[in-house]
């Protein structure tokens, strides 16, 4: 899974206005609703007060592992932090019009989060544009709870895990894996690759 707090960029049209994934605002809202200070949240989560402040103010992009710690410290599910503020409308169905998913941008990926309107869902689907051209561009691979599925929509990627040989994937190929495996993807072709990626929360 990706970092989530930085301002979004539309891979096809960088100048276009797009909905943003404001994870920092959601963390602050959850904290203040419970009457927790930054100091208390820091003690509960093990994330430093300065890091929490930067994340809440959109000045730092948290890793998925850090988000798990924050969610645990707040006593909420990670999926709830990845849902729309005020999500939880009646029924069990939500949609995302084409190009209107909540977007976030980081050094190696651009993500468009889909169907974020249900608070109590277990899956987080998103479309990812893979910008990285080498595993060396990553500070470190991801590793966290859950299970993940990815399907290559366009381009070609390499899936890298410390536990398995590098796997090359082309359009139409798919992969399902335990999120606790260290993992990352980079593009092997001349153009950015696009993936349908789904993370599922597990106990």
Q: What is the pLDDT of residues 31-57, one digit of tens each?
A: 999 999 999 999 999 999 999 999 999
Measured between alpha carbons, how far is 48 from 90 in angstroms, rounded to an integer?
A: 37
By residue range, what is the domain housing residue 160? 102-200
Measured between alpha carbons, how far is 136 from 56 in angstroms, rounded to an integer?
A: 29
Task: Write down the pTM of the prediction.
Answer: 0.77
Pair 191, 121 in one domain: yes
163 located within any domain: yes
CATH number of domain containing 116: 2.60.120.10
Q: What is the pLDDT of residue 85?
A: 53
Pair 72, 140 in one domain: no
* Nearest by Cα to 126 from 110, 143, 137: 110
For tokens 């994870």, name the residue: 23
Pair 106, 196 in one domain: yes
Pair 120, 73 in one domain: no
64 located within any domain: yes
Q: What is the pLDDT of residues 153-173, one digit of tens each?
A: 999 999 999 889 999 999 999
């Amino acid at each position: 899974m990706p970092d989530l707090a930085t301002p979004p960029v539309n891979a096809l049209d960088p100048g276009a206005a797009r909905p943003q994934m404001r994870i920092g605002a959601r963390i602050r809202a959850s904290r203040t609703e419970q009457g927790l200070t930054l100091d208390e949240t820091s003690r509960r989560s093990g994330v430093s007060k300065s890091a929490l402040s930067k994340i809440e103010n959109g000045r730092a992009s948290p890793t998925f592992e850090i988000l798990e710690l924050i969610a645990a410290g707040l006593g909420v599910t990670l999926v709830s932090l990845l849902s729309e503020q005020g999500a939880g409308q009646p029924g069990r169905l939500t949609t995302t019009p084409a190009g209107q998913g909540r977007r976030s941008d980081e050094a190696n990926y651009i993500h468009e989060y889909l169907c974020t309107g249900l608070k109590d869902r277990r899956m987080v689907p998103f479309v990812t544009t893979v910008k990285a051209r080498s595993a060396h561009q990553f500070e470190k691979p991801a590793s966290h709870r859950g299970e993940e599925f990815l399907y290559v929509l366009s381009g070609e990627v390499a899936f890298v895990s410390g536990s398995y040989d590098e796997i090359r994937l082309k359009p139409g190929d798919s992969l399902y894996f335990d999120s606790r495996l260290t993992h990352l993807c980079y593009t092997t072709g001349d153009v950015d690759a696009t993936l349908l990626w789904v993370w599922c929360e597990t106990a």
